[in-house]
Structure 1
Amino acid sequence: MSDRRRSLLRLEISRAAVGLFRAHGVAATSGERIGAEVGLSARTVWRYFRTKESCVEPVLHRNVDHVVATLRRWPPERTLSEHLLAEYRPPADPEAAADADAVLAVIALSRTEPGLRAVWLAVHERAEPVLAEVLAARLARASDDVEVRVHAAAIAAALRISGEDLAAEVAEGATVSDPVARLCVALRAATHGVGAAAVTTVHTDVRAGDPE
């Protein structure tokens, strides 16, 4: 099976699993039921996913990948907030919009489902090296530089927290604030001091033994 076909099949299983979790709950959804939803055996499902909760990973990754793709286009003359407000848009096509809605459902379920919570956290942890590469290119620093890695971890946390806040509003039926503006606030906090000059100054001071 080609990598593309494998990825598409994983995404198909993922969407089916999220739909069943939303309709019936995690406990009442078995691997057999997930497989049957897409015409596969449970054995085939377990070839692609280690647990039923991990079936949600592809849908969650699509959401993170969308944000990362926008960050890769971040031009040097703009702040991150300026770039996001100008360029970032939630997915517009029906399929991608449905996946974005599924992500919010998974986040909401993860508040009471430890297995889903673990997957949600792991997806953002695995995004950190990719985010570090984006920042490293912007700052002309190595991606394994400790300050770059810390900023990448902060951005991953900002993505997670803004998503959790949005999902909570949706689940509670509250008036939903602008998701892009919310993301900007979180990322502004995460990237405070990311400017090349500021990071270089901190790096120099630490090497010189200055505790400040």
Structure 2
Amino acid sequence: MDSTPPSLTERRKAATQLEIARAAARLFADRGAAAVTAEEIAQQAGVAVRTFYRYFRTKEDAVAPLLTVGAGHWRALLAASAPQEEPLEALERTIVEVLTPRSDADLESLRWTLGLLRAADDDPDLQFVWYRVNGESEVQLREVVATLAGPAADPFAVRLIASAATDALRVALEASAAAEDPMSDPGMPAALAIRALRQLTHGVQLYPVDARI
């Protein structure tokens, strides 16, 4: 893995992409994807339309950086877990941490996330971006879980747990977005995700008997 720090140009590009992604997510959440144009997203983000299309092929693609950053934040928290913490316990703790709003900014982030998923119900292209980001995150999550579990862990079980954790978050957010009033219970996504994770990992044997000392 290349550990070279990003250049100033790369950081500026990433910042611009993220600002466009935030604008797209807000507009989609408020009005639905069909009612929003790339030109409107560019205007909201304060960039030229040609800049928008330099970074994104479609208006739906524009939300991917924001979703990717969120998934990356979760993996970083998980990777920072204490060595003695069991991987499944660490997953539960970090899921609660990332899905539980603790500030107005967190509530706003949850609002646009759930609104974005509601908008995706009527937009296959937006659904594709959501599932693509989840698939990419699952692949990267395997490495984090494997590192936390250590060399004695069963590689197949590591893969199952990474898949279960990714799906637990995805399904919990989708179910919360489908509620009649998604923001009436901000704790719903975390509660559903923990429930899903426990059910999906029930019976998964991460270590062979007596393999971990």
If the TM-score is normalised by the length of the shorter chain, which range does it land in? Answer: 0.7 to 0.9
Residue of structure 2 in register with 1:207 after alignment: none
Structure 2 residue aligned with 1:126, among 136, 152, 158? 136
Structure possessing the higher relative contact order (Cα contacts under 8 Å, 6 or more residues apart): 2
Distance (Å, rounded) in 2 between the aligned partners of 1:50 and 1:82? 34
Residue of structure 2 in register with 1:166 after alignment: 176
- 1:9 and 2:20 are equivalent in the alignment: no
State the 1:96 CA deviation.
4.6
Structure 1 window deviating more from structure 2 (78-87 vs 6-15): it is 78-87
Structure 2 residue aligned with 1:50, among 42, 49, 57? 57
Cα deviation per residue 1:162-189 (whole Å; 9 max; x = unaligned)?
A: 11111122xx126535432222112223
Structure 1 window deviating more from structure 2 (6-15 vs 82-91): it is 82-91
Number of aligned residues: 199
Structure 1 window deviating more from structure 2 (65-74 vs 140-149): it is 140-149
Structure 2 residue aligned with 1:31, among 23, 31, 38? 38
Q: CA RMSD in A?
A: 3.2
The percentage of aligned residue pairs carrying the same residue is 32
Structure 1 residue aligned with 2:77, among 70, 73, 79? 70
Code of the residue aligned with 2:109 in structure 1: it is: D
Cα deviation per residue 1:21-64 (whole Å; 9 max; x = unaligned)?
A: 23433223222221122222221101111210011112222332
Q: 1:154·1:191 contact (CA, 8 Å) conserved in 2?
A: yes
Q: 1:91·1:97 contact (CA, 8 Å) conserved in 2?
A: yes
Structure 2 residue aligned with 1:136, among 137, 146, 149? 146
Residue of structure 1 in register with 2:5 after alignment: none
TM, length-normalised to structure 1: 0.78
TM, length-normalised to structure 2: 0.77
> 5+ residue gaps in structure 2?
1-7
Distance (Å, rounded) in 2 between the aligned partners of 1:144 and 1:11? 37
